[in-house]
Amino acid sequence: MRRKLVAGNWKMHGSLAQNKALLDGVLAGVADLGAMDCAVCVPFPYLAQAQAMLQGSKLAWGAQNMSQHEKGAFTGEVSAPMLLEFGCKYVLVGHSERRAIYGEDDATVAEKYVAAQKVGLTPVLCVGETLQEREGNITEQVVGRQIDAVIQAAGVESLAKAVVAYEPVWAIGTGKTASPEQAQAVHAFIRGKIAGLNKSVADGLVIQYGGSVKGANAAELFAMPDIDGGLIGGAALDASEFLTICRAAA
Ligand code: PEP
């Protein structure tokens, strides 16, 4: 039985004061959450604050991106070893906003995935199709290609130390959630594809759903057999919504 993971992606939101209020609110409810894992992925400058506030609690923390390089002349970049120094457990790689706005391709995302695992961070590999790709009936082709890139770079066994987040691009921040059945179909495709290479890795792999998950729709999504929690954007900025989603995963 896989343990579900709910992770908040704060994106470029927050301030020291807002984060404190939000984390205090979440911390007030996490102790009662039971058998599930939870985390927040915060902007880089707030990692120290997350570390100071969350150390020793059930709520883990992580980053939303990282460089594929370990160190060097890469102005403005942040490396995996740096994230590790701030106690990060997770790092998102290949979020659709990174792919679409910053031009990260599958090969770059795979390099980041490898660099994260090299230092012991758990990469949360984000995959998903655009609306155009869904309407063109190439969802499985796109998601399959995104997953193949990391399998080629790191081998299927590497997925034993990773999380996959299926996030249909058309559902992110739009208020349009994939139906539980639509999401389940893609999750089953992902698990089946990996099972074809290594069944035990596939059985143990946490595959989150992301895209307009809220307190009101989390339970029906998480009830699907291959949906192992969620990657939560907007709703992670509200402590009580985030806790409701976490409770749905317990
Ligand atoms: C996300 O940013 O990964 C996300 C799923 O956002 P939202 O929940 O706001 O759609």
Per-residue pLDDT at 177 exceeds 90: no
What radius of gyration do the chain's Cα atoms show? Answer: 17
Token code pair at residue 209: 């759903």
CB of 208 within 8 A of CB of 246? no
Q: State the residue for tokens 């990692």.
A: 47
Question: CATH number for the domain including 241?
Answer: 3.20.20.70
pLDDT value of position 31:
87
Residues in a beta bridge with 8? 40, 232
Annotated active-site residue 97? The verdict is no
Q: Is 9 in the pocket of ligand 1 (CB under 6 A)?
A: yes
Instruction: Note if the pTM is more than 0.85.
Output: yes
Centre of ligand 1 from the C-alpha of residue 73, in Å: 32
pLDDT at 11 over 80: yes
Ligand 1: which atom is nearest the Cα of residue 167?
5
Q: What is the pLDDT of residue 143?
A: 98
Among 162, 166, 171, residue whose Cα is nearest residue 184? 166
Task: Express as a percent the part of the chain with pLDDT over 90.
Answer: 96
Q: What is the pLDDT of residues 63-117, one digit of tens each?
A: 999 999 999 999 999 999 999 999 999 999 999 999 999 999 999 999 999 999 9
Helices (H), ranges, 86-217: 96-102, 106-118, 131-135, 139-154, 180-195, 199-204
Number of domains in the chain: 1
Mean of the per-residue pLDDT values for the chain?
97
Predicted confidence band of residue 168 (pLDDT cuts 50, 70, 90)? very high
pLDDT at position 217, please? 97
Does the pLDDT of residue 175 top 90, yes or no?
A: no
The boundaries of the domain holding residue 99 are 5-249
Locate 9 and state its tokens: 């992606």
Quick one: pLDDT at residue 201? 98
**Is the pLDDT at 1 greater than 80, yes or no?**
no
Q: Which of 5-14, 42-51, 175-184, 189-198 has the lowest mean pLDDT?
A: 175-184
Could you tell which of 5, 9, 169 is best to mutate to test the pocket of ligand 1, judged by most ligand atoms within 8 Å of the CB?
9
Q: What does DSSP say about strands 229-232 and 206-210: parallel, antiparallel, or unpaired?
A: parallel
Is the pLDDT at 8 greater than 80? The verdict is yes
